[in-house]
Amino acid sequence: MTTRPAAIRTDHSIPFAHNTIKVRLPAIVRETLRLNPDLPAEGAAALSALARSLETDDPIPVHADPAWAMAVAAHVGETWQDAQWFFAETYFYRLIADAVRWQSARRDPFVPYKLEEITGRAMRATLSIAFELTPEDYRARLIDRLLRALWGNRIDLSLKEVAQHGAHGDDDDLLVDDRLGAVDLLLNQRGGVVHLIADNTGTELAMDWLLIDTLLEASVDEEPAAEQVIVHVKAHPTFVSDATRDDALTLLAELGGRGTITRGFGPAAAAVAERLQHALMEGRLIVREDPFWNSPWFLFDMPEALHDFFTGASLVIQKGDANYRRSVGDALWDPAASFQEATAFFPAPLLALRTLKSDSILGLPPGLAEALAVEDPLWRVNGRKAVIQLGGQLG
């Protein structure tokens, strides 16, 4: 069994994690307050207090929800700036959801960010290029769609400096590329179940919808790569732009030209949306929210029911940085350690599509991390570099 390093903490040992808690997250709270001027006074006060508590390094507060109370109990005595980072960051977003009364009012405080993304030119241009350059061959199309789903992950609204790279990348930005192995797995066992653990809504999710459409696509002489696709989304708004069920279905309506936010994205996008709407009605496409994806628990701690749910899947596609952190214990591994061995606990093939926005990374060729550090000291966190890595149980 692979020995896992300890999870990254928010103290000064990892500058990016420390800066996230002390500077970035309070700034997100204040920008969210500015964009939600009609927020009730009680909620606004709770958010302001949360931002100050991170800056002044207050103790981690308790929580009434039994699941979170158990999680917080494991961190008794920790303060915001000296805690397990993954726990602190996920708990921060749960406290935001509490402050805006998500559970009762279903208010998403990050809607202004999401609307700006959906109505912007960049998403429209990215879709246009994807349709224009669609390969005719089915295998080549799957390979192409996986790459576009990867680069869509750059558009993270909690990290505007990362989003500036755009939803495309150069060849030398992709550090590991296991697409061919993943596509071979899919095409050698057509007609199975594929899971996609979603990350950001907007441009990234639009690229995910194109990938899912291709996975479910059948032609006269070829079966689809998947008989069913299950999309896993967050149970409440988190990490600013992470997709909820509401986000996923809203974006699908917008792609189809039946939404209220945009005027649609053209006939090609509308055709994709129509096929996916039919797949939803037929049960070949499922959008499934689960509080586990908002929780501070790592993937190797997932509940037995979720473990069993993934067992036997043809492929599980894991999107983004936070999901990557969840799968490897958010630890500072030797960059040359095996991603496959670190994720061998997972009961199905696991494909990570991730642009790097935090320090944890595995599966790189020996010496590459050291060379990258000389070239760009921020390569682990600035979203330019990326990996497509195949792990989990491959046999």
pLDDT given for residue 166 in this prediction? 53
Four-way CATH pick for 116-392: 3.40.190.10, 3.40.50.10880, 3.30.470.10, 3.40.50.2000: 3.40.50.10880
pLDDT-derived band at 22 (thresholds 50, 70, 90) equals very high
pLDDT tens digits, one per residue of 92-102 = 999 999 999 99
What pLDDT, on the 0 to 100 scale, is given for residue 162?
A: 47
Confidence check: pLDDT of 170 > 90: no
Q: Mean pLDDT throughout 201-216?
A: 97
> Which option is the CATH number for 15-105: 3.30.60.50, 1.10.3720.10, 3.30.420.40, 1.20.930.60?
1.20.930.60
SS (H, E, C) 66-133: HHHHHHHHCCCCCECCECEHHHHHHHHHHHHHHHCCHHHHCCCCCHHHHHHHHCCHHHHHHHHHHHHC
- Asked whether this chain's domains 15-105 and 116-392 adopt the same fold, the reply is no
Which pLDDT belongs to residue 200? 95
- The answer to whether 211 and 378 have CB atoms below 8 angstroms apart is no
The yes-or-no verdict on residue 221 having pLDDT over 90 is: no
Domain ranges of the chain: 15-105, 116-392
Q: Residue written as tokens 């800066």?
A: 19
Pairing of strands 349-355, 315-319: parallel
Mean pLDDT taken over the chain: 94
Residue 334 has pLDDT above 70, yes or no: yes
Global confidence as pTM? 0.95
The CB-side HSE value for 258 (13 A sphere, CA atoms) comes to: 11
Calculate ∠ Cα 183-185-188, nearest 5°.
105
